[in-house]
């Protein structure tokens, strides 16, 4: 999305705490070009008729944020203990397979933190539980008022456009308005709105409601795992004070200059990787590069240095 790229590029140009190493980026591009993009993970994600899948994906990416505070929330799923995003995806899948109250719009509008805790289950507590319940109530209310109570109607209103879907999400749902202000100028990230468009495309096999021909216009989804990977590769560099703070696992406030610079550099670095690979005749979309980098971030060698920690509903 051009509004995201343009605003992030402006941050990169004025950045004081984060920088981008173009030589490291150029060295890594050929290696990344040899990687296979991971497929949509069917084991942990719900699949079903389009209407239920639409509702599942909307809830999944509405809640897809902030899993890092210790002790980590985790669930037992089919004999496996999983945490983080995979735990959320699997917990919601289990709930949909059991036809839980999450599919009842009137129940969704009234859901409480205790009810959500019971539905998700697991050990420990998922962070920002109150905020997550509030987001679900917001979703239910907006769906009721604007889209005849159906997530599928929201997707239909996008008329087969990933960019239009992002616009609809950020226009109607306050919790999807992932933006900040840097030196008096607006910065747009729209992480969860963009990832929902990509997830719809992938989960639907790029058919039906997921046939989004402009999905290539989506940017990277600025979170905390991608910058960890890019820093490990030497593509992102932090100044001494920021590096010490991140490495000491001290929280960066949401909307702080350092946090905005990390996220903006992440988006712009992936865009430059995409361009460098295209120059070498390897064409991947930014959301595919995002997935490659995110999966690298699940490997131990890319966790040598910690990710930055920000308590936020946006990622």
Pairing of strands 185-188, 179-182: antiparallel
Tokens representing 207? 């058919």
**pLDDT single digits (tens) 266-300:** 999 999 999 999 999 999 999 999 999 999 999 99
* 51 confidence band (pLDDT: 50, 70, 90): very high
Q: Which of 81, 77, 134 has the alpha carbon at shortest distance from 108?
A: 134
**Chain-centre distance for alpha carbon 236:** 19
Structure confidence at residue 183 (pLDDT): 98
* 234 confidence band (pLDDT: 50, 70, 90): very high
Burial class (CB in 10 A: 0-12, 13-18, 19+), 109: middle
Domain coordinates of the chain in residue numbers? 2-303
How far lies 24's CA from each of 53, 75, 96, 296, in Å? Answer: 40, 38, 44, 17
- DSSP labels, 15-83: -SSEEE-HHHHHHHHHHHHTSPPPPP-TTTS---SHHHHHHHHHHHHHS-----SSSPPEEEETTEEEE
Q: Please report, rounded to a whole number, the percentage of residues in the chain having pLDDT higher than 70.
A: 100
Structure confidence at residue 14 (pLDDT): 98
Structure confidence at residue 69 (pLDDT): 93
Structure confidence at residue 167 (pLDDT): 98
Q: Which of 269, 199, 210 has the alpha carbon at shortest distance from 235?
A: 269
CA distance 103 to 219: 30
For the residues 34-56, what does the mean pLDDT come to? 96
Structure confidence at residue 298 (pLDDT): 94
Average pLDDT taken over every residue of the chain: 97
Tokens representing 298? 């699940």
**pLDDT single digits (tens) 60-93:** 999 999 999 989 999 999 999 999 999 999 999 9
Structure confidence at residue 262 (pLDDT): 99
CA distance 36 to 134: 38
CA distance 119 to 243: 38
Q: Do 261 and 312 contact (CB within 8 A), yes or no?
A: no
| Three-state secondary-structure class, residue 214 | coil
**pLDDT single digits (tens) 165-199:** 999 999 999 999 999 999 999 999 999 999 999 99
| 184 Cβ contact partners less than 8 Å away, ≥ 6 residues apart | none
Helix (H) or strand (E) holding 172: helix 162-172
CA distance 110 to 296: 39
Structure confidence at residue 91 (pLDDT): 98
């Amino acid at each position: 999305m051009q509004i995201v790229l343009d605003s992030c590029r402006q941050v990169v140009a004025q950045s004081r705490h984060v920088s981008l190493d173009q030589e490291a980026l150029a060295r890594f591009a050929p290696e990344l070009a040899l990687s296979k993009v991971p497929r949509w993970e069917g084991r942990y994600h719900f699949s079903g008729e389009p209407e239920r899948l639409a509702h599942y994906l909307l809830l999944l990416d509405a809640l897809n944020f902030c899993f890092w505070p210790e002790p980590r929330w985790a669930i037992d799923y089919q004999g496996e203990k999983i945490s983080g995003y995979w735990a959320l995806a699997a917990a919601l899948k289990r709930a949909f397979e059991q036809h839980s109250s999450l599919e009842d719009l009137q129940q969704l509008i009234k859901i409480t933190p205790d009810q959500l805790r019971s539905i998700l289950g697991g050990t420990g507590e998922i962070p920002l539980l109150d905020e997550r319940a509030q987001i679900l109530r917001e979703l239910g209310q907006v769906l009721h008022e604007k889209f005849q109570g159906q997530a599928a109607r929201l997707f239909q209103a996008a008329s087969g456009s990933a960019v239009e879907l992002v616009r609809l999400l950020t226009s109607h749902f306050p919790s999807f308005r992932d933006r900040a202000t840097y030196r008096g100028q607006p910065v747009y990230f729209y992480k969860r709105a963009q990832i929902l468009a990509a997830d719809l495309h992938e989960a639907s096999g790029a058919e039906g409601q997921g046939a989004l021909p402009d999905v290539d216009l989506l940017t990277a989804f600025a979170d905390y795992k991608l910058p960890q990977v890019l820093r490990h590769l030497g593509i992102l560099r932090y100044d001494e004070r920021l590096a010490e703070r991140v490495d000491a696992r001290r929280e960066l406030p949401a909307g702080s200059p350092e946090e905005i610079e990390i996220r903006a550099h992440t988006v712009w670095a992936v865009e430059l990787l995409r361009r460098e690979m295209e120059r070498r005749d390897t064409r991947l979309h930014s959301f595919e590069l995002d997935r490659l980098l995110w999966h690298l971030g699940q490997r131990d060698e890319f966790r040598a240095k910690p990710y930055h920690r920000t308590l936020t509903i946006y990622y």
